[in-house]
Amino acid sequence: MTGGLVLREHRRSLPASGQAPSAATGLMILVALIVILLAAGVLAWFVSRWSATAARWVSLVAVSVDFALSLALWAGYGSAMSLAPGGAWLDQVNRVWVPQLGIHFHLALDGLSLLLITLTFFLGIISVLASWREIQEGVGFFHFNLMWILAGITGVFLAVDLFLFYFAWELMLVPMYFLIAIWGHERRVYAAVKFFIFTQLSGLLMLISILALYFIHHRQTGVYTFEYDSLLGTHMAPHTALLIMLGFFVAFAVKLPMFPFHPWLPDAHTEAPTAGSIILAGLLLKTGAYGLLRFVLPLFPGAAHRFAPVAMALAVIGIIYGALLAFGQTDLKRLVAYTSVSHLGFVLLGIFVGNSWALDGALMGMIAHGISTGALFMIVGQVQERTHTREMDRLSGLWATIPRLSGSAMFFALGSMGLPGLGDFVGEFLVLIGTYEAHLIGLTIIAVLGVLASTFYALRFVQKAFHGPNVNNWSVNDLRPREVVQLIPMVAILIWLGVYPQPVFNKFNEVLSKIQPTALQQSLHETLSSIAMPPSGGVGCCASTSTPAPPPKKAPPAIRVAGQVEAAKLIYGPAPEYPVAARKARIQGTVRLEAVVAKNGTMQNLRVLGGPPLLIRPALEVVKTWRYQQTLLNGVPVKVVTEIDVNFTLAR
Q: What is the pLDDT of residues 636-651, one digit of tens each?
A: 555 554 444 444 433 3
How many C-beta atoms surround the C-beta of residue 215 within 10 A?
11
**Predicted pLDDT of residue 360:** 87
43 close to 32: Cβ distance less than 8 angstroms: no
Q: Give the C-alpha separation, 265 to 276, whole Å.
A: 12
User: What pLDDT was estimated at residue 328?
Assistant: 87
The three-class DSSP label of residue 283 is: helix
More confident residue, 393 or 131: 131
pLDDT at 76: 75
Q: At CB < 8 A and 24+ separation, what contacts does 323-326 make? A: 323/450, 323/453, 323/454, 323/456, 323/457, 324/453, 326/454, 326/457
Strands (E), 175-325: none
pLDDT band for 494, please (50, 70, 90 cuts): very high
Residue-level pLDDT at 304: 87
Using the CB atoms, write b or e for 125-164: b if 16+ within 10 Å.
bbbbbbbbeebeebbbbbbbbbbbbbbbbbbbbbbbbbbb
Domains of the chain, by residue range, sit at 300-517, 522-650
Give the β-pairing of 636-650 and 558-562. Answer: parallel
pLDDT value at position 388?
84
Decide if 102 contacts 211 (C-beta within 8 A).
no
> Could you give the CA distance from residue 293 to residue 316 in angstroms, rounded to a whole number?
18
Mean of pLDDT values over 614-640: 44
Q: What pLDDT band is residue 625 in, cutting at 50, 70 and 90?
A: very low
Counting beta carbons within 10 angstroms of the beta carbon of residue 106, is it exposed (0 to 12), middle (13 to 18) or buried (19 or more)?
buried
The whole-number average pLDDT for the span 302-310 is: 88
Confidence of residue 246 (pLDDT cuts 50, 70, 90): very high
CA distance 569 to 547: 31
What number of other Cβ atoms are within 10 A of residue 19's Cβ? Answer: 12
Is residue 279 within 8 A of residue 123, CB to CB? The reply is: yes
Contact predicate 640/524, CB 8 Å? yes
Ranking 160-164, 316-320, 382-386 by mean pLDDT, the lowest is 382-386
In which band, very low, low, confident or very high, does the pLDDT at 629 lie, cut at 50, 70 and 90? Answer: low
Alpha-carbon distance 503 to 426, whole Å? 13
φ/ψ of 649, rounded to 5, equals -145, 135
What's the whole-number average pLDDT of the chain?
A: 75
